[in-house]
Structure formats: structure tokens, C-alpha cells
């Protein structure tokens, strides 16, 4: 008896997700991002298959940590030469390179296998609400399922741009 398998191309299609990191806890945010990068939210998930989606994170400068981690957390890297250990405290890393903090946390949440680097390549992180041309790829859904009359796919729609648009409509009225 043969079983027919439906068209799974749509299930394997990669979708772009947008995450706003404003006032989110770093560990919980990294966990949710890692699940989407692995594809665990899909019914076709298989640990040996890379079926995850793209994730765009904005406002990485506004991510929060709990407890005293902002004072105690150190980021270490080594040049593999004697005396080549570099330690950067969380505060300095947050000023200099806030996207690396989220990337490091998500990397720690992913399984340590050959798919890890490929999954991390699908993670795009931006320090502010601007995400450039990548914003046009994000899957948008409105409550009633229709697009607004002034919708343009070339203009990225984020929570920040929607707030600015609402404020400009209030002031013009």
C-alpha cells in the first residue's frame, strides 16, 4: 500500500520573523530566537534537517539582563597566542557591539553541531529600529487579513514606524 505525501515545499519554505528586543530579557529572547532558527515551531521539524526560518532582531541596544549580570558578565575571546585572552565586560560590549551580545546568547542556545553556523547566518541583528531593505521580507499579518490602502512593500513596517505614522496622523488631524 502506498501512501501519498502532500506537497511539503510550502512547509519547508523559510519565513522572515521580526523581533523587537526593547525591554526583553536576554535569555528568554535568545531561547525563542533559537527555537525559530532550528524550526521547532514547524510540524515538520527534524533535528538532522535545517528547516528553520530567518529572524530579524531590532533595538538590540535596549535588551535587558536580570540580576547583577550587567556587572558580572564577561565576554571572553582568545587569539590562540600566549597571553591572548581578551575579556570585555557586559557594559563595554553593550556600548561597542550590542548585536554580538544577542548573537552570543543565541549561539549558546543552539545545538553544538554542523548546522549551528548555518542557522546563525539566518539571524540578522540591528541596534536600532531601522533594518534596511531586509524589512521588506518580513511576513506581515493584520487583524482582518487585508492590507492597508497605503501599503508599500518597499517601506519596512516595524512597531517603531507604525508608532511614528500614528503620531503624525494625530498631529495632522
Note the pLDDT tens digit of each residue in 123-143.
Answer: 999 998 888 777 777 766 554
| Rounded alpha-carbon distances, angstroms, from residue 112 to 40, 42, 119, 151 | 16, 21, 11, 41
Q: Is it the case that residue 16 has pLDDT exceeding 70? A: yes
Spatial separation of the C-alpha atoms in residues 98 and 101, rounded to whole Å: 5
- Contact by Cβ (8 Å): 157, 166: no
Give pTM, 2 decimals: 0.77
Spatial separation of the C-alpha atoms in residues 39 and 41, rounded to whole Å: 5
Comparison of pLDDT for 133 and 37, the residue scoring more: 37
40-44, 76-80, 98-102: lowest mean pLDDT where? 40-44
List the domains of the chain with CATH numbers: 14-65+96-144+152-172 (3.90.1180.10)
Amino acid at each position: 500500500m502506498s501512501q501519498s505525501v502532500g506537497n511539503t515545499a510550502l512547509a519547508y519554505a523559510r519565513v522572515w520573523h521580526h523581533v523587537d528586543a526593547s525591554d526583553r530579557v536576554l535569555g528568554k529572547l535568545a531561547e525563542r530566537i533559537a527555537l525559530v532558527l532550528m524550526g521547532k515551531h514547524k510540524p515538520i521539524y527534524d533535528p538532522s534537517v535545517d528547516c528553520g526560518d530567518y529572524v530579524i532582531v531590532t533595538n538590540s541596544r535596549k535588551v535587558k539582563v536580570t540580576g547583577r549580570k550587567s556587572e558580572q558578565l564577561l565576554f571572553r575571546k582568545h587569539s590562540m597566542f600566549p597571553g591572548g585572552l581578551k575579556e570585555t565586560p557586559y557594559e563595554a560590549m553593550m556600548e561597542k557591539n550590542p548585536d554580538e551580545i544577542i548573537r552570543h546568547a543565541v549561539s549558546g542556545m543552539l545545538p553544538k553541531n554542523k548546522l549551528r553556523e548555518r542557522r546563525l547566518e539566518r539571524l540578522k541583528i540591528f541596534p536600532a529600529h531601522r533594518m534596511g531593505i531586509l524589512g521588506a521580507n518580513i511576513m506581515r499579518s493584520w487583524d482582518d487579513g487585508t492590507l492597508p490602502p497605503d501599503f508599500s512593500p518597499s517601506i519596512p513596517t516595524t512597531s517603531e514606524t507604525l508608532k511614528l505614522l500614528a503620531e503624525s496622523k494625530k498631529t495632522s488631524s
